[in-house]
Structure 1
């Protein structure tokens, strides 16, 4: 193999390796830890959020939310959505009533 061929192969390997590493970082979101709550933590977080809101239905969850450790989205009987922020001990640290997601309410 001549020198030009070796150099071209080495450059190609470098480009592929760099692209693969970058692709993984983009696909995983880098340091983001956001994802749905699972396992026993899901039950504990759901129970804490429903107790806080006085009922409703859990319609979304997230671990590693930018505002807290856990976020539980609860849809109330009137259609309002409440985002309940919980710490690692499942204690409410904040909440936000997002209102109804029904476009007819606008």
Structure 2
């Protein structure tokens, strides 16, 4: 077998292995539910109201994440408190608190 043919065969085997690996990783991720690609941040036009409502609920902290149309509410705002704990504040379409969930479980759904 010529060296040129051997290189082509190696390239084909490597490409095939890469395709199988990519497919396997994609399928595993889809099955595990770890795919965050559907999560959308709160649009800028609504972000300030959502942040204000969440920070009023938590009594302060820093907004570290947002999501619109999650499985629990219209808006979800993640707040990291000064003590390092995180609180997820669930808001309805009118920016009213409909539930909270924190690291220390001291807050609950309303």
**TM-score, normalising length: structure 2:** 0.59
Q: Post-superposition shift, 1:38?
A: 1.7
Q: Distance in 1 between matches of 2:66 and 2:50?
A: 9
C-alpha contact (below 8 Å) 1:61/1:72 kept by paired residues: yes
Number of aligned positions between the proteins: 69
Report the structure, 1 or 2, having the larger strand content: 1
Deviating 4+ runs (over 3 angstroms): none
User: Which residue number in structure 2 is paired with residue 85 of structure 1?
Assistant: 90
For each residue in 1:30-62, what CA deviation from the matched residue of structure 2 results, as whole angstroms up to 9, or x when unmatched?
Answer: xx9630012121100000000010000000000
C-alpha contact (below 8 Å) 1:33/1:63 kept by paired residues: no
Say which structure, 1 or 2, has more relative contact order (CA 8 Å, 6+ apart): 1
Aligned pairs for 1:28-67 (under 5 A) are 34-67=39-72
Q: Distance in 1 between matches of 2:92 and 2:38?
A: 15
**TM-score, normalising length: structure 1:** 0.61
Task: Note the residue ranges of structure 2 that are not aligned, 5 or more in a row.
Answer: 1-29, 31-36, 105-110
Q: Post-superposition shift, 1:98?
A: 2.2
User: Which residue number in structure 2 is paired with residue 11 of structure 1?
Assistant: none
